[in-house]
Chain A
Amino acid sequence: EVQLLESGGGLVQPGGSLRLSCAASGFTFNNYAMSWVRQAPGKGLEWVSVISASSGSTEYGDSVRGRFTISRDDSKNTVYLQMNSLRAEDTAIYYCAKWTSSGWYIGSYFDYWGQGTLVTVSS
């Protein structure tokens, strides 16, 4: 059974930093790209970032590029999201999601999701 367990969320002041983790199990982690998707309270889904299976390629959404960094540790079956220079508009539930392919390929989708971790940016 595929499981994705996020952690690291919490309350942080504007301008602060936070590191999210996602521990994966139930599939061959190093064969798949992994992603982060967020959802502001009462709002829709927004893709944040993706990292390919080889860790050689990363992509970011416009709203987080330059502030957030995605990484992965295949020895720990874990993907991370380092979030710097946080803003109030970054407040959201952050979901870790497994990609259906090894890379940022056209025609790929999110086939498994974690339950999410809440990040609140407020003074």
Chain B
Amino acid sequence: EIVLTQSPATLSLSPGERATLSCRASQNVNNYLAWYQQKPGQAPRLLIYDASYRATGIPARFSGSGSGTDFTLTISRLEPEDFAVYYCQQRSNWLTFGGGTKVEIK
């Protein structure tokens, strides 16, 4: 099973700041990695797929990068609605999710 390790567990930032979230895979997942956003009491929402492609309707301030085993989700300038938990997910070998990174207001 491919293990996805997300860091940091919690990121404390202010609106307008840049957020950088990391997802590291225990094996090569090529580019088959997605990012999801989940707000309290809501279902997850697909943000990024194939490591760097924004899903439909996702603002340009969200960007994904990386390949192989190291991936990054960047939020260029945090808006109030961006404070949430973010999960990475791979579908290269079976299917696994990372443990999540909570982006909270500082």
Query: Which positions in A face B, CB cutoff 8 Å?
Result: 37, 44-47, 50, 95, 100, 105-116
Q: Interface digits, B19-59 against A, CB 8 Å rule (1 contact, 0 not)? A: 00000000000011010101000111110011000011000
Q: Collect the chain B residues with CB atoms within 8 Å of residue A100's CB.
A: 49
Q: Among A47, A114, A115, point to the contact of B96 (Cβ < 8 A).
A: A47
Q: Is the interface of B mostly helix, strand, loop or mixed?
A: loop
A95 to B92, CA, bound (A): 22
- Is B68 in the interface zone, CB < 8 Å from A? no
- Please state if B43 and A115 are interface contacts (CB–CB under 8 Å): yes
Query: Which positions in B face A, CB cutoff 8 Å?
Result: 31-32, 34, 36, 38, 42-46, 49-50, 55-56, 87, 89, 91-92, 95-100
Q: Among B31, B42, B55, B87, point to the contact of A45 (Cβ < 8 A).
A: B87
Contacts A107-B50, A108-B91 supplied; 8 other A-B pairs, CB < 8 Å: A44-B100, A107-B31, A107-B32, A109-B46, A109-B91, A111-B55, A113-B45, A115-B43
Closest 6 CB pairs of A and B: A113-B43, A109-B34, A45-B97, A107-B32, A47-B95, A109-B49
Q: Collect the chain A residues with CB atoms within 8 Å of residue B96's CB.
A: 47
A116 to B40, CA, bound (A): 13
A116 to B44, CA, bound (A): 10
- Chain B residue at smallest Cβ distance from A95: B43
- Please state if A110 and B100 are interface contacts (CB–CB under 8 Å): no
- Please state if B97 and A111 are interface contacts (CB–CB under 8 Å): no
**Min CB–CB distance A22 → chain B (angstroms):** 12
A112 to B97, CA, bound (A): 16
A37 to B98, CA, bound (A): 13
